[in-house]
Amino acid sequence: MPTPRTVFVPAYAKINLTLNVLGKRPDGYHALASVMQTVSLADTLLIRTGESETVSCDVDVPELRSEQNLALRAAHLLRETAGRPLGADIELRKVVPIQAGLGGGSSDAATALTALSALWDLHLPPGRLEELGAQLGSDVPFLVQGGTALVEGRGEVVTPLPDMRPLWLIVAKPAVNVSTAEIFRALAPADFGHDEDTRAVVSAIRRGADLPVEWLSNTLERVAIERYPEIAAVRSTLEHAGASPVRMSGSGPTLYAPFAHLGQAAEVYGRVAGALPQVWLCHTVTRTQVAASRPERQEFSSR
């Protein structure tokens, strides 16, 4: 049995700075062009290895305690890939809301994959964790490394982009839960096609220019807002408080507003904090910061 190790690892949420849906694929998924960004809103995984030969996951949210839990499925998948009776006990502390468009479950899975591959000394070839992640969900490959990236295909084609200047963000979740499949199903052919927004944002990030906030966009906003008027109500509260632009993340319902300066973000946050059901002030997290939070860069504590 290997030496027991215990680590705490944050599982950062993501937002979509852009999300263009290009069309429907023969496999039923949609072809995307999206700029994704990890943010400081995060769940925490406490992982213990070296004490058992099975995997388990205890979650502080009862409805996530099942075999379908993505962190647990990630641990099982990695153990099968290794082909050895490796063990891990995971405690998952949820902060990121579920069914929110923030990739919370996907990030738990991506974090379990990266943390366990280091703790179990698997030395997998580059790209293997992303491949395994794609079997668990479309956002998982991006969240293996996080930071800022262009994400294409159904989510599995990830091109890392240079770090942006830090952005402050107000993130607000309207009081509805949204099924991603339902939102994608409701798209009309007229929603498909162009990716100028994504190209413009990618080109500005590559040039090291300020984020062109006028290009932030999300094809899924139209159908999500049509179905859930709560989203428009939260957007309007944020806009009246001085946030601009306000965009939806993923399939929603969560909205975010970017700010270059903490002072501006804090002022708007102060105006909306009491008026919205769930709202956070957070910031962007770079790929380097994500990497620094992972076990291979932490001192292992042994008992």
What are the start-end ranges of the E strands in 84-227?
A: 88-93, 148-153, 157-160, 168-173, 217-218
Q: Is 99 a residue that touches ligand C5P (CB under 6 A)?
A: no
CA 12 to chain CA centroid, nearest Å = 6
SS3 content of the chain, % helix, strand, coil (to 5): 35, 30, 35
Q: How many Å apart are CA 102 and CA 111, to the nearest integer?
A: 15
Beta pairing, strands 88-93 & 55-59: parallel
From the candidates 139, 173, 195, 197, which is the catalytic residue?
139
Task: From 68-76, 179-187, 199-207, 232-240, give the range in contact with ligand C5P by CB under 6 A.
Answer: 179-187
Q: In the block, which residue shows the tokens 């910031």?
A: 283
Task: From 161-169, 180-188, 217-225, 265-273, give the range in contact with ligand C5P by CB under 6 A.
Answer: 180-188
Chosen residue from 155, 174, 258, 295 binding ligand C5P by CB under 6 A: 155
Q: Is 253 a residue that touches ligand C5P (CB under 6 A)?
A: no
Taking the least distance from each CB to ligand C5P, the nearer of 48 and 173 is: 173
Query: Residue 162: which of 134, 201, 113 has the closest Cα?
Result: 201
Is residue 139 part of the annotated active site? The answer reads yes
CB of 295 to ligand C5P, least distance (A): 25
Q: Is 34 a residue that touches ligand C5P (CB under 6 A)?
A: no
Q: Is 8 a residue that touches ligand C5P (CB under 6 A)?
A: no
Size of the site for ligand C5P (CB under 6 A): 11
Chosen residue from 137, 147, 252, 253 binding ligand C5P by CB under 6 A: 137
Q: How many Å apart are CA 213 and CA 11, to the nearest integer?
A: 26
If 0-12 CB within 10 Å is exposed, 13-18 middle and 19+ buried, where does residue 265 land?
buried
CB of 192 to ligand C5P, least distance (A): 12
Q: Is 32 a residue that touches ligand C5P (CB under 6 A)?
A: yes
Task: Compute the half-sphere exposure of residue 281: CA atoms within 13 Å on the CB side of its CA.
Answer: 17
Is residue 14 part of the annotated active site? The answer reads yes
Q: Is 14 a residue that touches ligand C5P (CB under 6 A)?
A: no
Chosen residue from 52, 81, 180, 264 binding ligand C5P by CB under 6 A: 180
Chosen residue from 61, 98, 175, 181 binding ligand C5P by CB under 6 A: 181
Q: How many Å apart are CA 143 and CA 42, to the nearest integer?
A: 12
Q: Which residues are catalytic?
A: 14, 139
Contacting residues toward ligand C5P, per CB under 6 A:
29-30, 32, 137-139, 154-155, 180-181, 184
